[in-house]
Each structure stands twice: as C-alpha cells, then as structure tokens.
Amino acid sequence: MKYFMLLFTALWLVACSGNNGESAENKSFMEAQQPKKTYGKIQHVDIGEGIDGTMSKAGKEIFDMKCNACHKYDERYVGPALGKVTQRRTPEYVMNMILDTETMIENDDTVKCLMQEFLMKMPNQSVDEKDARNVLEHLRDHAKSAQ
C-alpha cells in the first residue's frame, strides 16, 4: 500500500516526454538521455577499457537470481530491457538503481518517467556493492557482445 501511494505522488510530479520501451526507436527519454545530476550514494565508478570476464560471470549469477524475474535482455518485461542499458545510462546510474533504488525513484526524473510507464516501483534487492559492480560488468559485457 505504501508503494502504491508513493507511486501516485511521483506520477503527478513529473511530466514525461513520451512513453515506450527499448524496442521503440523514436526519440524519447529512453534514449541516451543522461541525468544531469547523479543521485544516490555511488558518485563515481571506475570502468576499464575491456570487460573483466570473471566479474561478468559472477554478475550473471546475481542477475539471474535477483533481477531476471523482472528484466530480460531484449524485451520489455516487468521492467525495461537491460541488454543495452549501459549504452543509454551512465555506470553510476546503473549502480545506484541497484544499490540506492529508493533515492533514484524519489529524485531521478528518468526513473520517475519509467515508473509512469511500468506502473511499479523497482524493489531494492539487497545487493552488496561488489555484487552490484559485477552485475554492471555483466550488463556492459552483454551490450558489447550484442553490438
């Protein structure tokens, strides 16, 4: 019930510029729109040139257990498709979605608009920082191999 109310408060506060999933290729907030400000507790993430295979593999384990019930790679499901999320969002944004979900949902306009489309609040899945970084690596890996 708590979530329900929060949802509607948020809905009234943001005006969004269109609605769609990753599959829709029109110009919308889904595309390459970087948030002006980085909300959440992760203010900077170091990422390497290439992909760390070990980290990516560990990240997939966590993704399957804690994310996959809502997110697929290429299709819209309960939440947006995440196969190419690292191409349209910053590493900090992805990390904060995982680690500081509540702050993102309350403050980040992109997430508020996604909520309007997906009609639910993404839950905090209690992932620790190391695992979250591995999930990010896995999503980067996926985006790269999908290219």
Partner 1 sequence: MSTQTLLRLMVLAVSALIMSCSGNNEAGGGALSGDAASRVYVAPGEKDEFYNFVSGGFSGQLAVYGLPSGRLFRVIPVFSVDPEKGWGYTEETKPMLMTSHGFVPWDDAHHPDMSQTGGVADGKWVFINGNNTPRIARIDLTDFRTKEIIEIPNAAGNHSSPFSTENSEYVVAGTRFSVPIPQEDVSIQQYSEKFKGALSFVKVDPKSGNMNLDFQLLVPGFDYDLARAGKGPSKDWMFMSCYNSEQANTMKEINASQNDKDFIVAINWKKCAELAAAGKGSMMNVDYAHNVYNDETHSASHTMKKQVRVLTADDIKGALFYMPTPKSPHGCDVDPSGELIVGGGKLATVIPVMSFSKMLKAIEGGKVDKMIAGIPVLNYKECLAGEVQRPGLGPLHTEFDGKGFAYTSFFVSSEIVKWSLKDFKVVDRVPTYYSIGHLCIPGGNSTKPWGKYVIAYNKITKDRYLPTGPELTQSAQLFDISGDKMKLLLDFPTIGEPHYAVACPADMIMKNSKKMYQITENKHPYATHKEADTRVERKGNEVHVYMTSIRSHFAPDNIEGVKVGDKVYWHVTNLEQDWDVPHGFAVIGANNSEALIMPGETCTIVWEPKKAGVYPFYCSDFCSALHQEMQGYVRVSNGGSGQLTWNKR
Nearer to partner 1, 5 or 32 (CB): 5
Give least dist CB 7 to partner 1, A. 6
Q: Which is nearer to ligand HEC, 40 or 80 (CB)?
A: 80
> Does residue 135 touch ligand HEC according to CB under 6 A?
yes
Choose from partner 1, ligand HEC, none: what does 105 bind? Cβ within 5-8 Å by kind: ligand HEC
Q: Which residues of 44-66 are buried (b: 16+ CB within 10 A; e: fewer)?
A: ebeeeeebbeebbebbbebbeeb
Q: What are phi and psi of 110, to 5 degrees?
A: -60, -45
Where does residue 40 fall: left (phi above 0), alpha (psi -120 to 50 degrees), or beta otherwise?
left
d(CA 18, CA 120): 17
| Residue 119 binds partner 1, judged by CB under 8 A | yes
**Which of 120, 129, 130, 145 contacts partner 1 by CB under 8 A?**
120
Q: What CA–CA distance (Å, rounded) separates 18 from 32?
A: 14
The binding site for ligand HEC (CB under 6 A) comprises 66-67, 69-71, 78-80, 82, 85, 89, 94, 97-98, 105, 110-111, 114-115, 118, 120-123, 125, 127, 135
